[in-house]
């Protein structure tokens, strides 16, 4: 009897070890019943069994038994996250379960550089294959989220914060616009709002000025100097005379051809700061945090002018004669030398 019991015990141990080995192999051997790439959408509230069926149907897991074994093997009871998952190659079922438990969903990175308009952002949205450009523009016409800061806003121009956003492939434009506006509100927080109030300018004016800074220079060390130029002009009632505002006006009128001419400088638009005094009626682009900061803390200089050195940098002047000499050197003489 003792020998028989010992035999049974050994048999059970062998069978148990064999079963464990079989399960281990089944959940650890990579499998792919698809070619190329495969996307699996897990809707919110989907049951664990339902998720398994979706993975099997997509060829990511061999069969439902394998899925259940892998789920149990990984601890069971793990919450599998909703979202879209991309599979590029054969993976062990246990690894598939781990990905879903971590919520390692597939997201498309979309970067909006500083200084873009709504229309330009809409084109990037469409080019990324996330949706229709017009839907982005339409969503951006709802300025309700910014009304408490800017009661005059009739669009979100200037308030869609430039950043890199990681998005599902099928992104709702309105949801993205809301996220970008929330990001702006997170950056332009109460502390920054208090600093804006101290300048004597409205939030709309601060963002409008910051947009000019953003469009005029990409150099961090120059932003406070450019901001100072526009602050100084405002103080003495001098026209802004900012080329980017004219370009914006021409784009709105459908007249921009890539070249700013003397005729273009005469376009009759409130955004033409050569013809109309003060800041433009609203932002002409979305400024980044650095330009907002520079606008709220301009350099302590008396500069009223600046001109490009044609390398991304600028030379500044506090009076017209010096500015004219700079224009002669860096615009007239420079291009004469370049043509030789």
| pLDDT at res. 217 | 94
Q: Of the residues 83, 102, 121, which one is the last residue of a structural domain?
A: 102
Q: Is residue 177 part of a domain?
A: yes
Contact in structure between 268 and 275 (CB atoms under 8 Å): yes
Q: Which two tokens stand for residue 170?
A: 């099928």
Whether residues 206 and 239 share a domain: the answer is yes
Whether residues 85 and 153 share a domain: the answer is no
CATH, residue 80: 3.30.1490.480
Query: Which residue from 165, 127, 134 is spatially nearest to 286, judged by alpha carbons?
Result: 165
Q: In terms of C-beta density within 10 A (0-12 exposed, 13-18 middle, 19 or more buried), how is residue 274 classed?
A: middle
Q: Of the residues 153, 187, 221, which one is the last residue of a structural domain?
A: 187
According to DSSP, the residues that pair with 308 across neighbouring strands are 314
Helices (H), the chain: 2-28, 48-57, 64-73, 93-102, 118-127, 133-139, 173-187, 190-198, 203-216, 223-236, 243-252, 289-296, 320-327, 334-339
Q: Which two tokens stand for residue 142?
A: 């709802």
| pLDDT at res. 76 | 63
Our count of domains for the chain comes to 3
Q: Is residue 16 part of a domain?
A: no
Whether residues 262 and 292 share a domain: the answer is yes
Helix or strand holding residue 151 (H, E): none
Q: What is the pTM of this model?
A: 0.84
DSSP state of 75: T
φ/ψ of 80, rounded to 5, equals -95, 130
Whether residues 291 and 269 share a domain: the answer is yes
Length, in residues, of the chain:
340
Contact in structure between 225 and 316 (CB atoms under 8 Å): yes
Kindly give the confidence (pLDDT) of every residue in the chain, 340 residues in length, as a single tens digit, with 9 standing for 90 and above: 555 445 444 444 444 444 444 445 566 788 888 999 999 999 999 999 999 999 999 999 988 888 888 888 777 667 899 999 999 999 998 889 999 999 999 999 999 999 999 999 999 999 999 999 999 999 999 999 999 999 999 999 999 999 999 999 888 999 999 999 999 999 999 999 999 999 899 999 999 999 999 999 999 999 999 999 999 999 999 999 999 999 999 999 888 988 888 888 889 999 999 999 999 999 999 999 999 999 999 999 999 999 999 898 999 999 999 999 999 998 887 777 767 6
Which range marks the domain in which residue 85 is found? Answer: 27-102
Q: Is residue 334 part of a domain?
A: no
From residue 144, how far is each of 101, 140, 149, 171, 186 by CA, in Å? 37, 10, 10, 21, 16
Whether residues 123 and 79 share a domain: the answer is no
Q: Is residue 268 part of a domain?
A: yes
């Amino acid at each position: 009897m003792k020998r028989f019991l010992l035999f049974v015990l050994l048999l059970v141990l062998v069978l148990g070890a064999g079963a464990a080995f079989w399960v281990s192999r089944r959940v650890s051997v990579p499998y792919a019943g698809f070619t190329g790439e495969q996307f699996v959408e897990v809707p919110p509230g989907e049951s664990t069994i339902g998720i398994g069926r979706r993975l099997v149907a997509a060829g990511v897991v061999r069969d439902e038994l394998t899925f259940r074994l892998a789920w149990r093997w990984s601890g069971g009871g793990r919450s599998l996250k909703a979202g879209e998952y991309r599979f590029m190659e054969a993976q062990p079922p246990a690894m598939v379960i781990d990905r879903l438990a971590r919520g390692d969903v597939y997201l498309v990175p979309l970067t909006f550089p500083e200084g873009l308009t709504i229309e330009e952002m809409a084109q990037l949205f469409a080019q990324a294959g996330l949706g229709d450009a017009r839907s982005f523009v339409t969503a951006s016409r709802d300025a309700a989220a910014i009304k408490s800061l800017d009661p005059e806003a009739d669009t979100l121009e200037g308030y869609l914060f430039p950043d890199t956003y990681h998005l599902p492939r099928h992104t709702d434009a309105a949801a993205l616009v809301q996220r970008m506006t929330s990001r702006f509100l997170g950056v332009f927080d109460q502390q920054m709002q208090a600093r804006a109030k101290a300048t004597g300018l409205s939030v709309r004016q601060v963002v409008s000025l910051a947009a000019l800074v953003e469009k005029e220079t990409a150099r961090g060390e120059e932003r406070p100097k450019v901001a100072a130029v526009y602050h100084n002009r405002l103080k003495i009632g001098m026209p802004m005379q900012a080329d980017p505002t004219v370009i914006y006006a021409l784009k709105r009128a459908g007249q921009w051809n890539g070249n700013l001419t003397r005729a273009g400088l005469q376009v009759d638009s409130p955004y033409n700061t050569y013809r109309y005094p003060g800041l433009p009626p609203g932002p002409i682009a979305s400024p980044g945090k650095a330009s907002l900061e520079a606008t709220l803390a301009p350099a302590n200089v008396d500069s009223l002018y600046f001109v490009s050195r044609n390398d991304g940098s600028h030379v500044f002047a506090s009076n017209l004669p010096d500015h004219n000499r700079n224009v002669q050197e860096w615009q007239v003489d420079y291009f004469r030398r370049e043509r030789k």
